[in-house]
Structure 1
Amino acid sequence: MAKKNSKSLPALCALGLLAASPAAFADPSPALDRVSIWLGGSYLNTDAHLKADSDDLSTGRLDLGSGHESVARARLDLLLFDTQGFTFDFYRLSRSQTQTLTEQFNFQGVPFDLNARVRGKFDFDIGSAAYHWWFGSGSDVFGIGLGAAYYRAKLGLSGSATADGQTYEASAKWDEDAVAPMVTLAYKHAFSDSLRFYVNASGVKKNGGSLSGHIYDGRIGVEWFPFHNLGLGAEYGKTEISLDHKRSGYDANLDLDLDGPSLFARLRF
């Protein structure tokens, strides 16, 4: 009996592996990839404004410039168990603008003069990590997700200021970062193995703290793969960013509106 059992054990194990293999190695929807890498950039139309208020003075809104900006961007998508996805995204925006003030502007307690030449510069970094649950069948899938976004904003002004009747060169700046919860929604459709369409939307909101505000982002795009593992991604996106920097007796608000096309080199595995 022992000899008979020892011969049947390998056969039972083999049958078990064969039975489990379709579930373990099942193909996901053709609209999804196990590993997806996006490397490219965006050509964004940027509109930026700064508003500052103190306890005893409201200084109005300062135009930090508008125009097009080239922004590098990287993204990574991972898929586990056919329906569980993870997305990591990062980009950085930088802009500077020199202008002549038409009214006095008080920033971080520094009063910049009327008619002064003032240079404003901001840098904005954002990185996010999100979990998606994909559901649907065949060529169409829908995704809902939760995650977190890390963002950092650096803003500075330099120009002429007045104190006690004296004019001098002055500068003021702030540099803050924060982590905020994020919600995402997505839809993907595969026309074929080489051509796909997608829509993504996400929202980030944080209340309280020294740097609060919201970030709303929407994208629509296509993916084309002339080769199985190598292709191109093209999308159009719009982002609205509003950040509030608070300190004792002083508030500043930075508003950024971004929209424009993006192009990516696409790798999938």
Structure 2
Amino acid sequence: MNSLNPKQPVVRRRYFLIAPLLLASSASFADVSPALDRFDLSLGGYYANTDTTIGAGARSGQFSAKGNVNLERDLGFEDHKTVPRVKLDFLIGDHQGFSFDYFSINRSRTKTLSDDISYGGNDYDASASVRGKLDFDFGSAAYRWWFGSGNDVFGLGVGAAYYRVRAGISGIATLDGESAQASTSYSETAGAPLLQLGWRHAFNDSLRVYFDASGVKKNGGDLNGHIYNAALGLEWYPWKNLGFGAEYAYTRIKLNDVQSDYNANLDLKLHGPSAFVKFRF
């Protein structure tokens, strides 16, 4: 027993030398960057300038009857639309977490035409009354990694996106010289892989700036295409857990729906400012 005693102080000395290093390393890793929050919920609206083109064509061997309609130009849709948007981010640990995003566009309008239009194999003459409708829902969920420390962090996220499209036109159409009630519509849902990139900078605990970019690209299947989004924003927290956000964003949505008897497409551009009420914990 006595022969072991000389070794014990050596072991203790090594432990006391290593322990502070481990604790310092652990404390450094446990620090959350001031550019991030444990929980961040944003509720707001996206006041977007919109440019929307929908197309549909009957298919018989080749696309024999085509038609594209710009909702703003041809049907008089307002070129500005306030789109509700919800964002949620929360951390698991200190450098990883989940990010969720959702917005929905629902638009419809009835107009008496001043020019002839064709859509889905139907011809709608000038003076005909037609109704156009577009519903688009987009939601995404991603797992994100944040790199860096201090006031600047950079993020990478991978996940999945869900989108649903319903579009159509109805009214009095001319077919083979006869006028009759006609309509063409389609509805599709799909999912696709998602990639996100992000940057956060904290000026102080109350004021931060950020940049986010994301992309969805789907090949194959009935509904395919791409969705890209980029946003530059500012966050201000006059109170510890309640604040406000403002950002400018650009979104491009281009989808194709290919079926055995028809082809349909959506080309939607959104850009403009957003405002949010933000909650953090």
Counterpart check, 1:63 vs 2:74 = no
Counterpart check, 1:32 vs 2:36 = yes
Structure 2 contact 34–150 (Cα < 8 Å) conserved: yes
Rounded to whole Å, the distance in 2 between the matches of 1:27 and 1:104 is: 61
Rounded to whole Å, the distance in 1 between the matches of 2:90 and 2:141 is: 11
In the alignment, what sits opposite 1:114? 125
Q: 1:73 deviation in Å?
A: 1.0
3-state SS, counterpart of residue 40 of structure 1: strand
Residues 28 and 21 of structure 1: is their aligned pair in 2 closer, same or farther, counting only changes over 3 Å?
same
3-state SS, counterpart of residue 35 of structure 2: coil
Structure 1 contact 43–262 (Cα < 8 Å) conserved: yes
Residues 248 and 152 of structure 1: is their aligned pair in 2 closer, same or farther, counting only changes over 3 Å?
same
In the alignment, what sits opposite 1:105? 118
Looking at secondary structure, tell me which structure has more strand per residue. 1
Aligned length: 251
Deviations 1:153-182 (A, max 9, x none): 111211112345431112221111100111
* Identity among equivalent pairs (%): 52
What residue ranges of structure 1 are gaps of 5+ in the alignment? Answer: 1-14
Rounded to whole Å, the distance in 1 between the matches of 2:108 and 2:211 is: 32
3-state SS, counterpart of residue 137 of structure 1: coil
Please report the TM-score for the alignment, with normalisation by the length of structure 2.
0.83
From 155, 158, 164, the equivalent of 1:152 is 164
3-state SS, counterpart of residue 122 of structure 1: strand
Please report the TM-score for the alignment, with normalisation by the length of structure 1.
0.86
Rounded to whole Å, the distance in 1 between the matches of 2:186 and 2:274 is: 30
Structure 1 contact 101–113 (Cα < 8 Å) conserved: no
Q: 1:72 deviation in Å?
A: 1.1
Mean Cα displacement is larger for which, 161-170 or 40-49?
Answer: 161-170
Counterpart check, 1:43 vs 2:43 = no
Q: 1:56 deviation in Å?
A: 4.7
Q: 1:263 deviation in Å?
A: 0.7
Counterpart check, 1:210 vs 2:214 = no
Larger Rg: 2
In the alignment, what sits opposite 2:186? 174
Structure 2 contact 207–234 (Cα < 8 Å) conserved: yes
CA RMSD of the aligned region, Å? 2.3
3-state SS, counterpart of residue 57 of structure 1: strand
Residues 112 and 37 of structure 1: is their aligned pair in 2 closer, same or farther, counting only changes over 3 Å?
same
Structure 2 counterpart of 1:112, one-letter code: D
Structure 1 counterpart of 2:96, one-letter code: Q
Mean Cα displacement is larger for which, 186-195 or 170-179?
Answer: 170-179
Residues 104 and 198 of structure 1: is their aligned pair in 2 closer, same or farther, counting only changes over 3 Å?
closer
In the alignment, what sits opposite 1:5? none
Rounded to whole Å, the distance in 1 between the matches of 2:165 and 2:227 is: 13
3-state SS, counterpart of residue 71 of structure 2: strand
Pairs within 5 Å for 1:1-269: 23=27, 26-53=30-57, 54=59, 55-65=62-72, 66-97=78-109, 98=111, 100=113, 102-107=115-120, 109=121, 111-115=122-126, 116-269=128-281
Q: Give structure 1 regions of 4+ aligned residues with deviation exceeding 4 angstroms.
A: 19-25
Structure 1 contact 88–129 (Cα < 8 Å) conserved: yes
Q: 1:211 deviation in Å?
A: 1.3
Rounded to whole Å, the distance in 2 between the matches of 1:165 and 1:250 is: 23
Deviations 1:118-151 (A, max 9, x none): 2211010011001111001210000111111100
Rounded to whole Å, the distance in 2 between the matches of 1:106 and 1:234 is: 38
Structure 1 contact 64–96 (Cα < 8 Å) conserved: no
In the alignment, what sits opposite 1:9? none
Q: 1:21 deviation in Å?
A: 11
